[in-house]
Structure 1
Amino acid sequence: MTSTTQYRLNKYISDTGFCSRRQADKFIEQGVVTVNGQLATVGLKVTINDQVQVDGKPLKEKPARVYLAYHKPVGITCTTERHIKGNIIDAIGYSERIFPIGRLDKPSEGLIFLTNDGDIVNKVLRAGNAHEKEYTVSVNKPISSHFIAKMSSGVPILDTVTLPCKVSQISKNTFKIILTQGLNRQIRRMAEYLGYEVVKLKRIRIMHVRLAELRAGQWRLLDKYEMAHMEQLIEHSAKTATVDNTLARHHDEE
């Protein structure tokens, strides 16, 4: 890193751990970000020599990168908006500013990552990178072989057809599904199209990281082996979209 290297302002802010790139753009649009005393604009590029302030306060030095695995309980909302009751940030109570990678719907539970590293978000979320997410799902009536076959082969929702995925029956009303995409409320919409209602949805794995013994409401730091494996998995992941666009398109069901 040199003093003349330029960075998009939203990335520069995100890299300090202050917020995500998407939230940084919101702050810029709201007129609360200045660069060298002048109001900033979205897309502005800065160097490490520029003085960036948010709400009149200078950004802190970039902190060490943090990666958490959290067992989100039912009822917690995956938002960094602190005014929303039951938001994931207050639920975890971590000492540094972090944000979730993707989301789980409020009625869903299970594994979700949180971090202060904006660069990793695209690589984990982009559907084209084929990173697996595994769920156990219970529905309101007995599962048929037709249901398993259709869920596996693809279901028309949201003006598209879902990608083929791995689906297997666990019990009369419960199945396991492994996705490599994350359309908005994907599993619920797929089941609904086939005449079923999801009554319980739990994410038990993201890539190589499993929920395992984490109880609802508990979190832990990813260990060095998990991070090393993750870096291998995402090493060649596409990063053509911005974090902001990725977060808008990939909702990480569920």
Structure 2
Amino acid sequence: MSDQLGIRLAHFLAQAGVCSRRQAARLIQAQRVTVNGILGQHQQRITTHTAVQVRLDGELVRPQAPAIYWLYHKPVGVDCRLLADDASSLLRRLPASSHCYPVGRLDKDSRGLLLISNDGALTQRLMHPDFAHDKRYHVTVDKPLSHEFLKTMARGLDYGAGLTRPCRMQQLAEQQFCITLTEGKKRQIRRMCRHLGFHVTDLLRTDIGELSLGQLAEGCFRALTASEVATLTQLKHA
């Protein structure tokens, strides 16, 4: 799409870090968005080369700074919810001016790889339930594994939230396994294990798609490499 034609209003809101495009469409439908004082329309295009004021609930929406893509090694105890009044919130660890947020979550009592970005379009793509990208975890439980446990986990089970998708399982030690999921139900691994009589004592996410935790130290951030960003861009437009 050429710069002269601009981008659709929902896309503009997503690029500005307000929300995903899907959520932006709902805001436009609810008549909460104006362009130069007139109610915004779904098909309306916005160009950043001309003087234009887009407002959400009366607040000016500014075009966002260049896209940010970070990896973060989340420790146990950090809450992925961005709550300003919570000392354990991830929000306390992000630069105040970045307008970034986690693409997906890890439970407060889990640790490992998080993708942090201000790219609303990417978030919408990666979080969509139809987009089955791999997420790999190393999991330690409270007692020795059994062949039946590994087989049942791999083929999928219903612990009360619907049947889980088949997944890849690999035993790493007597009480540790690697699991690769293509979905992200709330506390899924812990609930699957509990349904089969096992308690998770440690859960580490090591990979999201082609992104790997590698040697990134706990509690630290790093920017994605150019090749990693290129891979994400391909996913966003796939």
The bucket for the TM-score relative to the shorter chain is 0.7 to 0.9
Change in CA separation of 1:42 and 1:125 when aligned onto 2, cut-off 3 Å: same
Structure 1 residue 12 and structure 2 residue 5: aligned? no
Taking only the aligned residue pairs, the percentage that are identical comes to 33
Describe how 1:53-64 pairs up with structure 2 within 5 A: 53=55, 57-64=59-66
Contact 1:132 1:180 in 2 (8 A): yes
Change in CA separation of 1:158 and 1:50 when aligned onto 2, cut-off 3 Å: farther
TM-score for the superposition, normalised by structure 2: 0.83
Describe how 1:114-193 pairs up with structure 2 within 5 A: 114-193=116-195
1:101 matched residue in structure 2: 103
Change in CA separation of 1:234 and 1:30 when aligned onto 2, cut-off 3 Å: closer
TM superposition shift of 1:120: 0.7
Q: Aligned letter for 1:163?
A: R
TM superposition shift of 1:162: 0.9
Q: Aligned letter for 1:209?
A: L
Number of matched residues?
A: 232
TM superposition shift of 1:45: 5.4
Change in CA separation of 1:197 and 1:43 when aligned onto 2, cut-off 3 Å: farther
Tell me, in whole angstroms, the C-alpha distance in 1 between the residues paired with 2:218 and 2:136: 17
Q: Secondary structure at the match of 2:173?
A: coil
Tell me, in whole angstroms, the C-alpha distance in 1 between the residues paired with 2:52 and 2:73: 39
Q: Aligned letter for 1:53?
A: R
| Unaligned segments of structure 1, at least 5 residues | 237-254
Tell me, in whole angstroms, the C-alpha distance in 2 between the residues paired with 1:174 and 1:103: 22
Larger CA deviation: 203-212 vs 116-125: 116-125
Q: Root-mean-square deviation (CA), in Å?
A: 3.0
Tell me, in whole angstroms, the C-alpha distance in 1 between the residues paired with 2:71 and 2:26: 26
Change in CA separation of 1:131 and 1:190 when aligned onto 2, cut-off 3 Å: same
1:195-231: CA deviations, max 9, x gaps? 1111111100001111011122101111101122333
Contact 2:35 2:53 in 1 (8 A): yes
TM superposition shift of 1:30: 11
Q: Secondary structure at the match of 1:104?
A: coil
2:78 matched residue in structure 1: 76
Change in CA separation of 1:7 and 1:26 when aligned onto 2, cut-off 3 Å: closer
Larger CA deviation: 79-88 vs 178-187: 79-88
Contact 1:92 1:219 in 2 (8 A): no
Change in CA separation of 1:73 and 1:170 when aligned onto 2, cut-off 3 Å: same
1:227-254: CA deviations, max 9, x gaps? 2233345542xxxxxxxxxxxxxxxxxx
